[in-house]
Structure 1
Amino acid sequence: MTSTVRRAGAFALVGTLALLVPFVSRATPTPVATVAGPAPFILLAILALYVIDDGVLFETFARPGDRRDGRLYGLAGFSLAVAGLALLSLQFGLSMNVFIGAVFILAYGNLAEQLVRTVTSEDIVATAGFVAGGFLVGTGAQLSSLALTDTSLSIPTVLFFAASGALLASLLRTVLFPRDDPLVMFSVALLLWLFADLAVSVTTTRIAVALGVTVGLGYVSYALETASLPGMLTGVFLGLLTIVLGDYGWFAMLITFFGVGGLSTKFRYEEKQTRGIAEENEGARGSGNVLANSTTALVAVIGAAASPTHIPVAPEIFLFAFAGSIAAAMSDTLSSEIGGLFDNPRLITTFRRVDPGTDGAITWQGELAGLAGATLIAAIALAMFDEVSVLGFAVIAGAGVVGMTADSLLGATIEGPYVGNQGVNFLATLVAAIAGGLFAVGAGLL
């Protein structure tokens, strides 16, 4: 057994102690449980920081940085994160299964990943090991927590929590420092507590389709090199949430953007390299690019799930906001990837000719491609949703064009000195989402 696997196993055993918290919460009054539940982990953190500085225990838990400093900072941070989540769950009555699930997903997902790395160096296989291990053990841990607290939750919902948590944890570990366990654990728990509060309704068919379709398409995007590993994880995570929290129609718009947008990036890629306008990393979209173009849409999906019970707004307005943001992302991607192949682009603010690839530069060919992209997303919405009429089709397409234009204007004015390309993409999709919602209200569609 390698030291990495042994260390991951030791952390997993510490995480297993989290099952004491729901037992304590059931067996003792709340004030006592609030103190007693986190206490073992606080004690463990103190021992890691001030007592254990050599010997077998130190060598078992020590990471390279811990050996240099002579303190088990990794173990202390992990233990304090567990203690903090336990305290939040006990003090505010938050779902105990979410707390347990977050701990087990991270701890046992990491163990599964390290075991896989002993037989292969392929990052995607190791990542799959983390997600699969975290998902399976996270599911079992939640069920154990529900039994210990004598509460109930549907199996599909438990599976959804485990899958969402495993994907988010894996994604965060690929874009953050790999050992930021406390931040990863807290992020997973907070997201799942949000879903628990929304009382998300999940069916067995929905979660099965969501997992099968998103994982399959995610692997295809990685194999075709239209997405990097973090980009693939981000896409799968967003796809899962879109299917479960929204509907298949929402996902159809999202996956169309991912697919067509990714292929447009690869279109005549060598020529784009020659012209200096090609995407980095052989055109494979990373997590930053995916999130910049999809964060607004994700917020719209969650908003729709939260309305009208938690947000006094009709859920249909979030549908138009979602569709508008995706239409803008598609429109901007196609206008850039297609329009950049043509000569004589002009700056949108002055219409003077500039070099290809200049921020804020447009071509009439690119504008037509962008309009086609926005129209495609609007057509999917028209076909998939009864709420979207022919007028709704025009609203979504118009919002997409507004977002594309906003992207060009922002690129010509603030990109570079103030914000980067991904920031501009996010702002453009936000503008389009707002436009979609306002246009829908103004047109009397809601």
Structure 2
Amino acid sequence: MTWPLRRAGAFALVGALSLAAPLLGPAAAAPFVVVAALAAFVVDDGPAFELFARPGDHEERALYGLAGFALAAAGLALFVPLFGMPVFVFVASVLVLSGGNLAEAAVRQRRHEPVAATVAFTVGGTFAGVLGQLVVGLAAPAPTPALAVFFAASAALLGALVRLALFVRDDPLVLFSMGLLLWLLAALEPTIAPVGIALALLVTAGFGALAYALDTASITGMVTGVLAGLLMVVLGGFGWFALLITFFGGGGLAGKFRYDRKRKRGLAEGNDGARGSANVLANSAVALGAVLGYAASPMLPLTDSPFVFAFAGSLAAAMADTLSSEIGGLFDTPRLITTLEPVPPGTDGGVTWQGAVAGLFGALLIAVLGLLFLPFSLAGAIAITLAGVAGMVVDSLLGARFENRAVGELFAGALAGLAFADRRIGNQTVNFLATLAAALVCAALAAATGLAAL
């Protein structure tokens, strides 16, 4: 057994202290506070130090890595008595992180591919999180086994994504991110049947693996897509997932279409066309927010229709813009949308009639799928198409006026001196705003015409 694996096992044992939470009640944080104090101020040498020490701890002569993990767990434990967080959420979050780290360390002994480590963290964390919830269920309220799997898998996917996107050892941020997500999902009280959850896991994981194998998604893009898809299926239904996967698949294939030509023209996506988490989130964050709103609608003074239309409208815009950019970029006749002046291919805000036709087709495709799977009425499909085209136009307008400009420039120097004033508005920001605009347009059209969905 290698040192990293022994250390991960020792951290997992510390994480197992969370299982005492149902018995300790408001004092659930106490064991972790004790561990943090010992790690930071007492243990500075000897076998225990060597077992828990992370790189850098030897220089400081303190187990700051263990102290950070224990303090994060203690902080999350305080949410139980202070804010009413369910005990199983706290336990599952701690065990997903510690169990996932242990599984990843075990796999890294034999395989060094990043994707293998990510899969190991996700699977190991899910198993540990489910086990923790089942144990909690012996002494405190806990979800059904099927929901326990959904909660643990969602937390593990989010934890894997945060670790990939930020820093693999930022335990506090990872732990609190997972805890807040689980708390939200528990509050929504999903009612999907166990078979539905099993199918959701198989289908979303399968599509994620296929996207990665075809190089249409990076590791972070794959994890983001699987998490988004899982939430769509469980909180909305397979019809929602059909629209989402159509966008992911269609957008990925469009990015690969005549990729060498796009690369020579400087228009291709980086990483050989594989889409990362930033791209996936920029185009699907509004849709994800819509499905969360739909799931929460019984607790809100709203019907679920606005969220359904917002969901479909945002994906119609994302599909329209993606096809418009990927197809239109292959032609030599773009014109700036604000002035109609000819511009070089790849200019922000440059449009071609070929790209516009492709974008219209993309919006229509999402609308037709809405008719088939959600379902919408014909009038609803027309609203989705119009919203998708509107989002595509907004994307081009924002690209022409604001993309690649510093934030401070937009406020005539009023933000001078602020840290974010020099940050430039990127394509992901423009994509997010365009999908948000399309979602609002679609919901507004539905409200103005009295349309209802589902």
| Same-fold call, TM cutoff 0.5 | yes
Q: Could you tell me whether the CA contact under 8 Å between 2:107 and 2:117 is conserved in 1? A: yes
2:274 to 238, 259, 284: 284
Aligned partner of residue 399 in structure 1, secondary structure: helix
Q: Could you tell me whether the CA contact under 8 Å between 1:160 and 1:202 is conserved in 2? A: no
Q: Could you tell me whether the CA contact under 8 Å between 2:312 and 2:384 is conserved in 1? A: yes
> Is residue 393 from structure 1 mapped to residue 381 from structure 2 by the alignment?
yes
Question: In structure 2, what is the equivalent of residue 166 of structure 1?
Answer: 156
1:128-176 CA distance string (max 9 Å, x none): 1111111111101111011122x25322111110111111111111111
Q: Could you tell me whether the CA contact under 8 Å between 1:382 and 1:389 is conserved in 2? A: yes
* AA of the residue aligned to 2:248: F
Question: In structure 2, what is the equivalent of residue 21 of structure 1?
Answer: 21
Question: In structure 1, what is the equivalent of residue 263 of structure 2?
Answer: 273
* Identity of matched residues, %: 56
* AA of the residue aligned to 2:172: P
| Structure 1: 5+ residue stretches without partners | 26-33
What stretches of structure 1 move > 4 A for 4+ residues in a row? none
Q: Could you tell me whether the CA contact under 8 Å between 1:105 and 1:162 is conserved in 2? A: yes
Aligned partner of residue 338 in structure 2, secondary structure: coil
RMSD: 1.0
Q: Could you tell me whether the CA contact under 8 Å between 1:296 and 1:322 is conserved in 2? A: yes
Q: Could you tell me whether the CA contact under 8 Å between 2:240 and 2:374 is conserved in 1? A: no
2:295 to 291, 297, 305: 305
Distance 1:213 1:183 in 2: 29
* AA of the residue aligned to 1:413: R
Q: Could you tell me whether the CA contact under 8 Å between 1:97 and 1:145 is conserved in 2? A: yes
Offset at residue 431 of structure 1 (A):
0.6
Question: In structure 1, what is the equivalent of residue 414 of structure 2?
Answer: none
Question: In structure 2, what is the equivalent of residue 89 of structure 1?
Answer: 80
Offset at residue 91 of structure 1 (A):
2.5
Q: Could you tell me whether the CA contact under 8 Å between 1:53 and 1:70 is conserved in 2? A: yes
* AA of the residue aligned to 1:72: L
> Is residue 154 from structure 1 mapped to residue 160 from structure 2 by the alignment?
no
Aligned partner of residue 450 in structure 2, secondary structure: coil
Aligned partner of residue 279 in structure 1, secondary structure: coil
| Structure 2: 5+ residue stretches without partners | 408-424
Query: What does residue range 333-344 of structure 1 map to in structure 2 within 5 Å?
Result: 333-344=322-333
Distance 1:78 1:153 in 2: 26
> Is residue 431 from structure 1 mapped to residue 419 from structure 2 by the alignment?
no
Query: What does residue range 82-121 of structure 1 map to in structure 2 within 5 Å?
Result: 82-121=73-112
> Is residue 5 from structure 1 mapped to residue 5 from structure 2 by the alignment?
yes
Distance 2:241 2:303 in 1: 20
Question: In structure 2, what is the equivalent of residue 226 of structure 1?
Answer: 216
TM-score normalized with structure 1 length: 0.96
1:242-267 CA distance string (max 9 Å, x none): 00000111100000000010000000
Aligned partner of residue 358 in structure 1, secondary structure: coil
Q: Could you tell me whether the CA contact under 8 Å between 1:156 and 1:202 is conserved in 2? A: no
> Is residue 328 from structure 1 mapped to residue 322 from structure 2 by the alignment?
no
Distance 1:371 1:424 in 2: 19
Query: What does residue range 8-407 of structure 1 map to in structure 2 within 5 Å?
Result: 8-25=8-25, 34=26, 36-149=27-140, 151-309=141-299, 311-386=300-375, 388-407=376-395
Distance 2:195 2:40 in 1: 48
Distance 2:114 2:256 in 1: 23
Aligned partner of residue 308 in structure 1, secondary structure: helix
Aligned partner of residue 178 in structure 1, secondary structure: coil
Distance 2:138 2:392 in 1: 51
1:113-138 CA distance string (max 9 Å, x none): 11011011122122111111111111
* AA of the residue aligned to 2:348: D
Count of residue correspondences: 434
1:184-237 CA distance string (max 9 Å, x none): 111111111111111121311110110000001100000000000000000000
Question: In structure 2, what is the equivalent of residue 30 of structure 1?
Answer: none
Q: Could you tell me whether the CA contact under 8 Å between 2:314 and 2:388 is conserved in 1? A: yes
Distance 1:222 1:231 in 2: 8
Larger displacement relative to structure 2 (104-113 or 84-93): 84-93
Q: Could you tell me whether the CA contact under 8 Å between 2:100 and 2:122 is conserved in 1? A: yes
> Is residue 412 from structure 1 mapped to residue 392 from structure 2 by the alignment?
no
TM-score normalized with structure 2 length: 0.94
Aligned partner of residue 309 in structure 2, secondary structure: helix
Distance 1:131 1:163 in 2: 7
